[in-house]
Chains A and B, each alone.
Chain A
């Protein structure tokens, strides 16, 4: 795959390094001449000096034949415009933007960025998962189908404790995908009994996440 990375900060640097190791054809676009020099010594000629929002730079980078463009500069406005230029002027198949202000994720999606990565939201999510005693955790959004993957820890007081999966009256757009019990992972059938201390992994439509929360953990 031919991948263009724009922005040679820490994220761009390690991204380029990893993608190269994985055997992809990679080009990193960076504005700062000193950085370009240092990186060129390390990576060879896969670095292009210039402003990635500039059409002439994208043209020189061969954007027209790129499969993916990833914009990871420190500025949201630059990442947005770089992705839009790549998409609308060079018809790059997939554009990925780093979003610094989590509020911009929705805007970026409305404006045709294929994938957004919000470090802030990602770290918040990790913090949520790391805090004990949180019975219901939102793990992941699946963008296209508007689905979410959640994890719920069952307690003695949980409304579904000691019921079988078949007995649980799940919301329509929910499915229990797996149950983690101690070190085992169980793929549940209708007769599988839900026990206290089970960790339930479920896929749910986002509109039914709250209902599922009430059903499984009762807040």
Chain B
């Protein structure tokens, strides 16, 4: 599968490295060349310097033949726009967009983008753990009494 990843931060670099390791054809885009150092030393895919909201940059990353596009830069709006470029202009089948703002995430999910919201996901996990911890604490307390 041909995958284009925009944003080579911790998440982008990790996703790209794992997909590459699993035998997929991966290209990573970032505006900062130093970011590519985060990729695993074995990474065998391509890197493209530039911004993914620019069609020409996406083309040089091979978006025209990509099966999936993953937008994980730190900018919500940049991810949203790049995701819509990939979907509308290049008909990429799977477009996954990270959006930190839960309200924006909700809006764009309704508009048909596949979105990931670290804020809601992380909050849910933390709340689960806190409630789980207090529950087991209460259970332990009730056993003692």
Interface positions, chain B 51-82, Cβ under 8 Å from A, are: 53-56, 75-78, 80-82
Contact with B along A46-84 (1 / 0, CB 8 A): 000000011110000000000000000001111011001
- Residues from chain A with a CB closer than 8 A to the CB of B84 are 80, 107, 111
- Taking A53-B104, A54-B101 as contacts, is the C-beta distance between A77 and B89 under 8 angstroms? no
Bound CA span A69–B111, Å: 20
- Whether a CB of chain A sits under 8 angstroms from the CB of B22 is no
- Whether a CB of chain A sits under 8 angstroms from the CB of B88 is yes
Contact between B54 and A107 (Cβ–Cβ < 8 Å)? no
Summarize A's interface: helix, strand, loop or mixed. helix
| A82 nearest CB across to chain B (Å) | 8
| B139 nearest CB across to chain A (Å) | 39
- Residues from chain A with a CB closer than 8 A to the CB of B89 are 106-107, 110
Contact between A81 and B111 (Cβ–Cβ < 8 Å)? no
Contact between B76 and A80 (Cβ–Cβ < 8 Å)? no
Contact between B85 and A53 (Cβ–Cβ < 8 Å)? no
Contact between B110 and A107 (Cβ–Cβ < 8 Å)? no
Tell me the count of chain B residues lying within 8 A, CB to CB, of chain A.
21
Bound CA span A81–B80, Å: 7
- Residues from chain A with a CB closer than 8 A to the CB of B82 are 77
Bound CA span A84–B103, Å: 13
- Whether a CB of chain A sits under 8 angstroms from the CB of B121 is no
Bound CA span A110–B89, Å: 9
- B108: nearest residue on chain A (CB-CB)? A84
- Whether a CB of chain A sits under 8 angstroms from the CB of B123 is no
Partner of B104, one of A76, A81, A101, A104: A81
Interface positions, chain A 99-144, Cβ under 8 Å from B, are: 101, 103-104, 106-107, 110-111
Contact between B77 and A80 (Cβ–Cβ < 8 Å)? yes
- Whether a CB of chain B sits under 8 angstroms from the CB of A88 is yes
Contact between B77 and A53 (Cβ–Cβ < 8 Å)? yes
- Taking A88-B110, A107-B88, A110-B88 as contacts, is the C-beta distance between A55 and B81 under 8 angstroms? no
| B29 nearest CB across to chain A (Å) | 14
- Whether a CB of chain A sits under 8 angstroms from the CB of B145 is no
- Whether a CB of chain A sits under 8 angstroms from the CB of B142 is no
Contact between A107 and B85 (Cβ–Cβ < 8 Å)? yes
Bound CA span A107–B80, Å: 13
Chain A residues within CB distance 8 Å of chain B: 53-56, 75-78, 80-81, 84-85, 88-89, 101, 103-104, 106-107, 110-111
Closest A-B pairs by Cβ, 3 of them: A77-B81, A55-B103, A77-B77
Q: Would you list 11 pairs from A and B whose C-beta atoms are within 8 A, ordered by A residue?
A: A55-B107, A76-B53, A76-B81, A77-B53, A77-B82, A80-B84, A103-B54, A103-B55, A106-B89, A107-B85, A107-B88
| A80-B84, A84-B111 known, 16 other contacts, Cβ within 8 Å | A76-B81, A77-B77, A80-B80, A80-B81, A81-B76, A84-B80, A84-B107, A88-B110, A89-B103, A101-B54, A103-B54, A107-B88, A107-B89, A110-B88, A111-B84, A111-B88
